[in-house]
Amino acid sequence: MEKIRWKVEGMDCSNCALTIRKYLEKEDVQNIRVNFVDGDVAFDLNGSSSAQQIQKGIDALGYKVTGTLEADTAGVPVKKMNIHLKYTLICLPFTLVLLLHMVHDWIGWHWLMNPWIQFALCVPVYITGMSYFGKSAVKSLRNGIPNMNVLIALGATAAFAYSFTGTLLTLGEDYLFYETAATIITLVFFGNYLESASVQSTQKALQGLAKSQKTVANMIAFDEHHQEVIMPVDNKDLRSGDLVLIKNGELVPADCKILWGDASVNESIITGESLPREKHAKDMLIGGSLLVDGTVKAQVTAAAGDSALANIVTLVKQAQGEKPPVQQMADRISAIFVPAVIAIAVLTFIINYFVLQDFTSSLMRSIAVLVISCPCALGLATPAAIAVGLGRAARNGVLFRNAKSLELFKDIRQVVFDKTGTLTTGELTIDQFQTTNNTISEEELKRITYSLEKYSNHPIAKSVATAWKTCLSGRQAKNEIRWAKIEEIKGLGIKATSKEGDEYWAGSYKTATALTANNTHNVYIIKNNELIGWIDLKDDIRPEAKKVVNYLRNKGIITYLLSGDSKAKSEQLAAELGIDKVIAEQTPEQKLTVIESLTLQAPTAMIGDGINDAPALAKATIGISLSDASQIAIQTADVVLMNHGLKNLPLSLGLGKHTFITIRQNLFWAFCYNIVAIPIAALGFLNPMFGALAMGLSDVVLGINSGRLFVKKVI
């Protein structure tokens, strides 16, 4: 399938997004994501329709495909005047002059009372309004999904047609409401501009990330004499394998690996950690981070479009386009909102006409009902808060893969921690070891263990292999055992068979239960069903672990330690950190069963970093992984903590809770506004002109309330 990502202009509300979504569903495309907040439309073509055909279809709906979003430029706004501001500036002079007729006695401009002059002043505004609202209204009606512009077009047209009829029939100034039609159009344009400005402000954190992707790189090339030549190139032109020179004070142009040099690097753009990290040869640099001190030569490991930062921007934008469950009811109401308001407006006119016996007053009240109603508020309530919540999270080193996770955080009652690499640093060192067979020397035990553990990705195995590779002599390392067969059994260890037919194990106590009663060691080395040695390792506890556990306990959240390590070591760590319950010596399958059971009891978050944690992460209510975890754990998790540790776990929990609170506040405002405003307009307490202004400002209130999440204390 071909993946399509477009920037589409003209989407003002969730109804607009719904119109495009329904059209794409008719075209039978897959994985549709429509985000009206920033105009992103993404889907997968399955071959039945071409991209050109679908683009023409979207244009025919009244929207405009303005470009293709590449991963390295996603979210970077094009610098041009906002269309709503442009139309506001076009309409405003005519509208202001029209409004002066209300004070014509004060300024002496009696010619403003001439109905044909008022008509001439109103026509440019009306044509401008109908070119936007009218066209959009007709197309939305044609597609069976009436949007807010239907209400605006009906209200302005009713006022204009009524006034024009009075002008033609010379019925007098009581029939002239040109200023009402013009003011409705101008104020709605202005309100839409304020709304789009406030919504765009919710994107500023994500835009900051996106802008950090674009930089000039010092690419290292070689001339015919094999001399280095430094060439400035745009970082989007870099490819994996290219060499770059990065100097003091420069942005890292792409994900790369240091070949030469030392540097201090500020990775706050990704991790949220402002303190520089020391980097040396063979260390990785994240594209978009800042070289605070030093100069390095590095090799690009991922093109700009595939960098960690680009993937974060893409994932966050996808998450912003998703709808959590709380929005579903609002969407259902939005879908029937416009027809309902039109019906209310008609009833308002009929009832008022029979009560008041006044056509003009009845018409003005029905117009007020049309223009004060705001379906946009219902559609904007959730996306605005989601945009801010996800943007702030990304800026502080927390990556949410979907918007649903933000809402689910509010219900979390249990948090389950893996041990190694999650609560501990995972940087294990050998504490002590011993051979248990007199025929096996220490050097031979090291050689056997190294030959086994080098094939495992488990943190313990990698630490042992790294430590003993360096301490073995060159000849011993080269004489490692060549296995006829070797396999890693999750939750147990590494099992291998030599070419001579000997069977070896390097594994947990479960592999040695029949050979020893001592279950306190980390690794047991077995040859032909005989224990030949054991190894103990020590692992430092992450400095933030105790503080994070205390935070959870203070919030009334039950904490669990779920580990494949021995019960004694797990209980020791849990006691030191204050973790409530311990479930130790678990295989990946058993971990999955435990998480299933806990999730049935209460909403549960699981935090892990290893391959064996991936199934449990997927089964938990929310799976949380660390950025330095195995790739399968990162891909399975709903939330990734990008700060190389647990430090931002409280922030992710707090943002989830307060984003949902903000969504509820927004929806409460949206419902209350419409419930109160429509009866006020129907009873004649609100002029249509003020109704148009109130409608625009109602969305601004949502934008401002959502924007508070940028600075709101959430922990």
Q: Which residues are catalytic?
A: 418
The pair of structure tokens assigned to 695 is 């409608």
User: Hey, what are 245's tokens?
Assistant: 């020179």
User: For 123, phi and psi rounded to 5 degrees?
Assistant: -55, -50
Distance of CA 372 to the CA centre of its chain: 32
Structure tokens of 247? 């100097």
Instruction: Measure Cα distances from 198 to 157, 191, 379, 708 in Å.
Output: 29, 10, 15, 11
Helix and strand totals (H; E) in the chain:
25, 26
Closest of 460, 382, 425 to residue 702, by C-alpha:
382
**Element holding 414 (H helix, E strand):** strand 414-417
Angle at the Cα of 539 from the Cα atoms of 534 and 543, rounded to 5 degrees: 170
Q: Tokens at residue 477, please?
A: 């390392």
C-alpha torsion angle, residues 81, 83, 87, 92 (rounded to 10): -50
The full length of the chain comes to: 715
Q: Given CA atoms 165, 170, 176, 181 in this order, what sign does their dihedral have?
A: positive
SS3 of 613, please? Answer: helix
493-498 and 503-507: which strand pairing?
Answer: antiparallel
In 10 A of CB 704, how many CB atoms? 12
Decide: 646 and 544 in contact? Cβ < 8 Å: yes
3-state secondary structure of 696: helix
Residue 284, Cβ neighbours under 10 Å: how many?
A: 12
DSSP lists the bridge partners of residue 435 as: 533
Give how far Cα 564 sits from Cα of 125, 490, 585, Å. 72, 10, 4
CA dist 211 → 66, 114, 191, 204, 564 (Å):
19, 54, 28, 10, 43
3-class secondary structure, 668: helix
Q: How far apart are the first and last CA of the chain?
A: 43
Q: Give me the residues paired with residue 495 across strands.
A: 487, 505
Q: What DSSP state is assigned to residue 678?
A: H
- 277, β-bridge pairs: 265
CA distances 610 to 397, 398, 541, Å, are 20, 19, 17
Work out whether the CA dihedral 491, 497, 501, 503 comes out positive or negative. negative
Q: Which residues of 415-445 are buried (b: 16+ CB within 10 A; e: fewer)?
A: bbbbbbbbbbbbebebeebebbeeebeeeeb
The DSSP result for 435-472, as a single string, is ESSTTS-HHHHHHHHHHHHTT--SHHHHHHHHHHHHHS
Task: Tell which residue, 476, 482, 481, 452, has the closest CA to residue 464.
Answer: 452
d(CA 586, CA 609): 15
